[in-house]
Amino acid sequence: MLTYTIRRLILAIPVLLLISLIIFMLLKLAPGDPTAQMPLTIPPDVKEKMKEAMGFNKPLLVQYALWLRQFFIVEPLHWCDVLFGTHFATGLQRIISWQTRSPVFDIIWQRIPQTLTVVGMSYLIGVLIALPIGIVSAYRQYSWFDQIGTFVSMVGFSVPTFFTGVLLIVIFSVELGWFPSIYDTTLVVHDWASFAKQVRQMAMPVAVLALYNAAQISRFMRASMLDNLHQDYVRTARAKGMGERVVVLVHVLRNSLIPVVTVIALGVPTIFGGAIITEQVFKVNGLGQLLITAIYADDVPMVQTLTFIFAILIVLFNLVADILYGLLDPRIRYD
């Protein structure tokens, strides 16, 4: 298992390098002037100097290498400095956002808590809803519960999140006035009243995303339970005289959870990146919204860094899913 993990980690390096090259080239090959957004009052020769300072006159490969160096060497060194009070990164250029002129990673660090509370919470709730629904749907296949569950999950992943979000806003903010339609990030939770306010402003975005996540995971859970319910070992367990509860919740459930756990692991990167639309609808200023504003503002370093971080997360959690599969299922051995 350890050798397999190490081999996969080593294999991930060329994949990530290739992805970073794709992202870099996509942004570089795009037509358009990087200084186009600057005020027209800046004289052309100053503009040229700014371009030079940003490193646009160097060959593409050098620019790419410089970005990789900033991403993989300068930034970790900087965080090492912050944590341990060392001085490795003094004088080294960090990745700077063109919008705000501050380091990209500092801004990302500010945005992570919002994304994690809203999107992470919705993923958690989605999983917690999906598992029991999947189990009951499979155990009572074709019952009314299963039919409704199937329909709701079909609706859940057919109706786009921007429509459910807007619909909830129309109903609960505009008509009924129960929940605020805009997420207030400056709210500090210090007592019960502010906690209730936080819960109220989180309710709608979390509900939208939780429905979407639960729809997908409950389908996987149901299919996986159905696969296992008709296996011979289940009949053996029943023949041994075990109670129905033990058979379903211990024998079948534990085996069915194996593929579902990997599906859940594969979905984790979307917590960080995938909720772009929902964050935009409810004005949550998390990572997705950061990406959108950066794209609108032609902030190349920010877009590049964020997309690459999302790619790293996807590769990483693919690996985690494969390893989990091996750990949970003793029949699968990678060696």
Residues that bind other proteins (CB under 8 A): 15, 18-19, 22-23, 26-27, 30-32, 150-151, 154-155, 157-160, 162-163, 166-167, 169-170, 174, 269, 273-274, 276-277, 280, 291-292, 295-296, 303, 306-307, 310-311, 314-315, 318
Candidates 181, 175, 189; CA nearest to 208 is 181
CB of 16 to other proteins, least distance (A): 8
CB of 12 or CB of 234, closer to other proteins: 12
CB of 3 or CB of 158, closer to other proteins: 158
CB of 31 or CB of 241, closer to other proteins: 31
CB of 78 or CB of 219, closer to other proteins: 219
Alpha-helix residue ranges (DSSP H) falling in the chain: 2-29, 44-53, 60-69, 75-84, 104-115, 121-139, 144-158, 161-168, 192-229, 232-239, 244-246, 253-273, 276-282, 287-296, 300-328
8 A C-beta contact, residue 275 and residue 269: no
CB of 63 to other proteins, least distance (A): 17
CB of 175 or CB of 335, closer to other proteins: 175
For every residue of 258-269, DSSP letters joined together read HHHHHHHHHHHH
For every residue of 181-221, DSSP letters joined together read SS--TT----SHHHHHHHHHHHHHHHHHHHHHHHHHHHHHH
CB of 246 to other proteins, least distance (A): 31
CB of 220 to other proteins, least distance (A): 15
What distance in Å separates the CA atoms of residue 179 and residue 176, rounded to the nearest whole number?
Answer: 8
CB of 204 to other proteins, least distance (A): 14
CB of 35 or CB of 198, closer to other proteins: 35
8 A C-beta contact, residue 23 and residue 55: no
CB of 60 to other proteins, least distance (A): 16
